[in-house]
Amino acid sequence: MIVTLGVDHHAVELKQSVIGHLEEMGFEVIDRGTSDSTPVDYPDIARKVAKDIRTMKANFGILMCQTGMGMSIAANKFQGIRAALVMNEEMAKLARLHNDANVLCIGSKYVLPEDIHPILDTFFKTEFEGGRHERRLSKIVEFEFSRM
């Protein structure tokens, strides 16, 4: 399993903890930055992570910024990306179970460092349920190709 990871300057402190935990889980990690507190534009980071998934360099992505909202909005602009803003284990489970999310978005201001590992565990151990959710996801894919 390969996970591509991108953070902005607000989430640098969480990044190493996330990378370490993913590696403990046996995942290979692609680090798409940033690595210090110098301000960066989160859409640029989201684009790199989305590209890794779209080109199949990675199976999943993780994006973190101060709120997680900007990263999720930016990532969801790319075809085939299903980025979910998650703040707890239940949201992580439902993001995978019902929405087949392939990008986990975290707000560093709202998720405590001690809560990040259980969220990661839940997200990556939960499989997509399928069934009635497949019909709904198909509609979302249609939207990606629609001009309204």
Inform me whether the pLDDT recorded for 21 exceeds 90: yes
User: Average pLDDT, whole number, for the chain?
Assistant: 96
Query: What is the mean predicted confidence (pLDDT) over 104-122?
Result: 96
pLDDT at 148 over 80: no
Q: Band the pLDDT of 129: cuts 50, 70, 90.
A: very high
Residue 133 appears among annotated catalytic residues: no
Specify the pLDDT at position 146.
82
Which pTM was predicted? 0.96
- Rounded mean pLDDT of 126-131? 96
**Which of 9, 10, 65, 105 is the catalytic position?**
65
Please give the pLDDT value at position 145: 83
End-to-end CA distance of the chain: 36
The confidence band for 37, taking pLDDT boundaries of 50, 70 and 90, is very high
Domains defined along the chain, listed by start: 2-144 (3.40.1400.10)
Has 98 been annotated as catalytic?
Answer: yes
pLDDT at 77: 96
Q: Which of 9, 10, 98, 105 is catalytic?
A: 98
